[in-house]
Amino acid sequence: MDSRELTFKGGVHMHDFKELTNKYSIETGPNVETVTIALHQHTGAPCEPLVKIGDEVKVGQKIGDADATITAPVHSSVSGVVKQIVEITTVSGVKTKAIVIESDGKNEIGYEPYNDDYTKLEPKEIVRRVREAGIVGLGGAGFPTHVKINKNPKDTINHVLVNGAECEPYLTGDQVTMEEYPEKVVIGLDIVMKAMGAPNGYIGIENNKPEAIKRVSEEAKKLSGIKVSVLKTKYPQGDQRRLIDSILGMKMPSSLRSTEEGVQVINSSTAAAIYDAVILGKPLYEKVVTVTGSAIANPKNLLVKVGTSLKEVLEYCGGFKEEPGKIIIGGPMMGEAQFTIDSPTLKANGGIIVMNKEEAKPPVITACIKCGKCVDVCPVYLMPLYLQQNVLNNRFEEAEKLNIMDCIECGSCSYVCPSKRPLVEAIRHGKRELRAASTKK
Amino acid sequence: MDKENIKVSETNFDNILTVSATPHIRSSETSSRIMLDVVIALVPALIAGTYFFGLRALMLVLVSVAAAVLSEFVFQKITKKESTITDLSAVVTGILVAFNVPSTLPFYMVAFGSFFAIVVVKQLFGGIGSNFMNPALAARAALMASWPKEMANFVAPGADAISTATPLSGGEAVTLMDAFIGKMPGTIGEVSAICLLIGAAYLLVRKVISIRIPLVYILSTVVFLFAFGIPANKLLDQVLYGGLILGAFFMATDYVTAPVSKKGQVIFALGCGLITAAIRMFGSLPEGVSYSILVMNVATPLIEKFTTPKAYGKGGKK
């Protein structure tokens, strides 16, 4: 174990609210009567249904898939009967078809463990198993994992990094997964190293998770080539490029794919899911979700069946302590505020945060006093105050010259701003305008 | 503890959920809290000024603050703009204007200074955050130009109130200890180094300012003065006499008129040091702090243009 605290330049130390859930072990979530499985839960092409109304399905049975390269199949999270195929808008705001399955309450398993030695598997077979299990990046982005671990023959991958930073406030799913299933995380990493032919593996964990560091380090000792890197607790430590910088000291611009420099990064819960897929044959049909926030009655780390409605998850956690003001899917820095609780959960959802009315109140915006705090914290060394000023005055080219397109939208600038300026909000708008202008050309 | 929870199914969700863009949490820091910190940091120096120059000094500060706040309020009423007096920035400006004048200045002059700072320098350029030079220092310059005699009417601390010159303009030399404590002629706010440093330490601890600008400013002033021929044993006098400490910690660090990038701040502070040393050595003025900061304020946009940080990963290994 590397005892230095690794870090990058910039970023924010913030109150992380993890104390609400970080002592709770993973609890199995509600046994629901119906699940609604969205056919588009990942970056890339949506799936087409493989079942029709009236079909009987089992837990883990593939019910949607597509031929596209960048896509991931979806699986049933219950055993039961397909009732409907409907149009929904997901928690990420994507319009998609979804399969409604009525559970028979039996949860009959429809997959089998592979019972073979993973160390002897061909990379191709690993990639195939990961794809069939429908694994997507569980850090929140939902990029199909089989695409990530399928090595381009042109690239040489030297390092595979596991992202166990979990730098978003409130979220503790990665932490409890690392504490309770360290062997899955470590072997999951070893599997990816085998798939990509990478000699070195690192698991980066922030130093506010000592138990996870201890457990994962013990497991890592059993395999060769895997190191645990202790990271300074700081947002956005879990951003892929910041993680690479902290652990390997390599600064990669956003224009470069990390694999071009021989590095691949996967999230720690994704590593555990890879273990489940390649060794146990278990598809990704359930996911640890941190249900937390000041207005939820009983915060929990909950193993939720994909397709369970937010409503049922919230009910399972005892409802609200006080009237909710805002419900966020994901972390508070990059997650999405919801206007309904009828949406089903998706594979990549890491958290449901219920804020109270007071916390949900929009901040009062005052004039920029040029304190420069946004410049100090920007992990990509931009000057958010000037980007915002240019965007709000429709000077998009000026903003482009100031590298607006390099913004990773982590929100650190908006977080620290004492004047509560909408910095990342304006930057996002500016990027959209510039993208629209470049496609028109 | 037995309070019943609100059942999800019984909650009416129509229009109760706030939907907004990320991030969903913000730091508790606000602009007015920063201004309050600056006010707090100026209190020790205010106490020293009152102690050494009498209650009249305190009265001048109060008049100045009142004039600043009133000017801002009335201007914003007339121009139908939202009032920003609660952000406390006008209070800070008012205190700093008074800190830059001798305790003998007529009240209407300090009131004019504050009016000039708030209306001409701050509000006419768009209000808080938009002024291109430090309002209090611009007011000092305006007062020096309008009433040079009154602005140089310094008195020695104590009951006698005999007119005298500051040690910098060839007045009686004071011991280093007296200069450090503030027992010397000077403007209300600049005299007590120890009290200013106590306030500055508070700002540093609260992270309202960083040490970068004050440290580079003071060190470079000393280095340039030495290079210009001031003997080494007189350098500390130069730091303690006049307004260098007040200027370095409370004026040059003004967010609005100093560069935001670290490199830019170093260049800015070096420029301040160079000009201060040059004015003190070669100029006809005894003191160079205000003019050096004002000149560098004007250079700030240019400095920022040339010190824009390179975006992450740019220019390095590709």
Q: Could you report the per-residue pLDDT of B296-315, keeping only the tens digit for each? A: 999 999 999 999 888 887 75
What DSSP designation does A168 have? Answer: S
In 10 A of CB A219, how many CB atoms?
20
- pLDDT at position A441 is 63
Pairing of strands A324-329, A351-356: antiparallel
What DSSP designation does A296 have? Answer: B
Q: Under an 8 A CB cutoff, do A169 and B5 touch?
A: no
Phi, psi of A228 (to 5 degrees): -100, 130
For A361, the token pair is 């109140």
Range(s) of chain A covered by CATH 3.10.20.600: 27-111+284-355
Q: How are strands ordered across the β-sheet holding A62-65?
A: A48-49, A62-65, A74-75
- Nearest-CA neighbor of A273 among A188, A193, A176? A188
C-alpha to C-alpha distances, B70 to A296, B84, B189, nearest whole angstrom:
47, 11, 22
- Cβ atoms of A283 and A134 within 8 Å: the answer is yes
Size of interface A-B (CB pairs under 8 A): 183
Give me the mean pLDDT over the A146-170 stretch: 94
Q: Above 0.95 for ipTM, yes or no?
A: no
State the Cα angle at B165 between B163 and B171, rounded to 5°.
125
Tell whether the model's pLDDT for residue A3 goes beyond 60. Answer: no
- Nearest-CA neighbor of A306 among A70, A93, A128, A142? A142
Q: Under an 8 A CB cutoff, do B313 and A428 touch?
A: no
Please list every residue in chain B whose beta carbon sits closer than 8 Å to the beta carbon of residue A409.
22
What DSSP designation does A156 have? Answer: -
Q: What is the pLDDT of residues B20-62, one digit of tens each?
A: 888 999 999 999 999 999 999 999 999 999 999 999 999 999 9
Please list every residue in chain B whose beta carbon sits closer than 8 Å to the beta carbon of residue A391.
none
In 10 A of CB A296, how many CB atoms?
28
Q: What is the CA radius of gyration of chain A?
A: 21
Q: Under an 8 A CB cutoff, do B127 and A251 touch?
A: no
Judged by DSSP in three states, A306 sits in coil
Measured N-to-C along each axis, helices B262-282 and B289-306 cross at an angle, to the nearest 10 degrees, of 150
CA distance A154 to A136: 24
Q: What is the pLDDT of residues A163-203, one digit of tens each?
A: 999 999 999 999 999 999 999 999 999 999 999 999 999 99
A400 CA: distance to closest CA in chain B (Å)? 12
In 10 A of CB B165, how many CB atoms?
15
Query: Hey, what amino acid is at A46?
Result: P
Place of tokens 């540093």: B204
A13–B contact, CB cutoff 8 A: no
Q: Under an 8 A CB cutoff, do A369 and B19 touch?
A: no
In 10 A of CB A19, how many CB atoms?
11
* Mean pLDDT value across chain A: 93
CATH of domain A27-111+284-355: 3.10.20.600
Give the number of C-alpha atoms closer than 13 A to the C-alpha of residue A8, restricted to the C-beta side: 32
Please list every residue in chain A whose beta carbon sits closer than 8 Å to the beta carbon of residue B310.
381
Q: Under an 8 A CB cutoff, do B22 and A334 touch?
A: yes
B149 CA: distance to closest CA in chain A (Å)? 35
Q: Where are the beta strands (DSSP E) in A170-279?
A: 200-206, 226-231, 263-267
- Cβ atoms of B8 and A311 within 8 Å: the answer is yes
Give me the mean pLDDT over the A255-277 stretch: 94
- pLDDT at position A2 is 47
- Cβ atoms of A112 and A279 within 8 Å: the answer is no
Say which residues have a Cβ less than 8 Å from residue A254's Cβ, sequence separation at least 6: A241, A380, A405, A406, A408, B312, B313
Tell whether the model's pLDDT for residue A79 goes beyond 60. Answer: yes
- Nearest-CA neighbor of B280 among B146, B121, B166? B166
A338–B contact, CB cutoff 8 A: yes
Q: Under an 8 A CB cutoff, do B256 and A369 touch?
A: yes
- Nearest-CA neighbor of A145 among A200, A195, A219, A95? A195
What DSSP designation does A362 have? Answer: P
- pLDDT at position A1 is 46
| DSSP run (H or E) holding B271 | helix B262-282
Q: Does B102 sit behind a cis peptide bond, omega within 30 degrees of 0 on the bond before it?
A: no
CA distance A6 to A119: 31
| DSSP run (H or E) holding A358 | helix A357-360
- pLDDT at position B38 is 97
Q: Under an 8 A CB cutoff, do A425 and B11 touch?
A: no
**pLDDT in 10s for each residue of chain B, 318 residues:** 456 788 888 777 777 888 888 899 999 999 999 999 999 999 999 999 999 999 999 999 999 999 999 999 999 999 999 999 999 999 999 999 999 999 999 999 999 999 999 999 999 999 999 999 999 999 999 999 999 999 988 888 865 556 777 777 766 667 888 888 888 888 999 989 999 999 999 999 999 999 999 999 999 999 999 999 989 888 888 898 889 999 999 999 999 999 999 999 999 999 999 999 999 999 888 788 999 999 999 999 999 999 988 888 775 443
- Cβ atoms of A209 and A337 within 8 Å: the answer is no
Q: What is the pLDDT of residues A220-238, one digit of tens each?
A: 999 999 999 999 999 999 9
Q: Under an 8 A CB cutoff, do A415 and B25 touch?
A: yes
A382–B contact, CB cutoff 8 A: yes
Convert A80-115 to b/e letters by CB count within 10 Å (16 or more is b): bbbeeeeebebbbeeebbbbbbebeeeeeeebeeee
Pick among 3.30.1360.120, 3.80.30.20, 1.10.1740.10, 3.40.50.11540: CATH of A118-280: 3.40.50.11540
Range(s) of chain A covered by CATH 3.40.50.11540: 118-280
Phi, psi of B237 (to 5 degrees): -55, -45
- pLDDT at position B318 is 39
| DSSP run (H or E) holding B262 | helix B262-282
Measured N-to-C along each axis, helices B135-146 and B89-99 cross at an angle, to the nearest 10 degrees, of 40
A243 CA: distance to closest CA in chain B (Å)? 13
Which of B25, B123, B305 to probe the A interface (max A CBs under 10 A)?
A: B25
H helix runs in B147-187, sequence order: 148-151, 176-181
Q: Under an 8 A CB cutoff, do B23 and A254 touch?
A: no
Q: What is the pLDDT of residues A344-368, one digit of tens each?
A: 999 999 999 999 999 999 999 999 9
Tell whether the model's pLDDT for residue A16 goes beyond 70. Answer: yes
Tell whether the model's pLDDT for residue A213 goes beyond 80. Answer: yes
Pairing of strands A34-38, A263-267: unpaired
**A297, A360, A370 member nearest B5 (Cβ):** A297
Q: What is the CA radius of gyration of chain B?
A: 23
| Positive or negative torsion for Cα A167, A173, A175, A181 | negative
pLDDT band at A438 (very low <50, low <70, confident <90, very high): confident
A114–B contact, CB cutoff 8 A: no
Among residues 116-175 of chain A, which lie with CB inside 8 Å of chain B?
169
Say which residues have a Cβ less than 8 Å from residue A148's Cβ, sequence separation at least 6: A137, A264, A266
C-alpha to C-alpha distances, A183 to A222, A268, A275, B216, nearest whole angstrom:
10, 11, 9, 52
Please list every residue in chain A whose beta carbon sits closer than 8 Å to the beta carbon of residue B130.
367
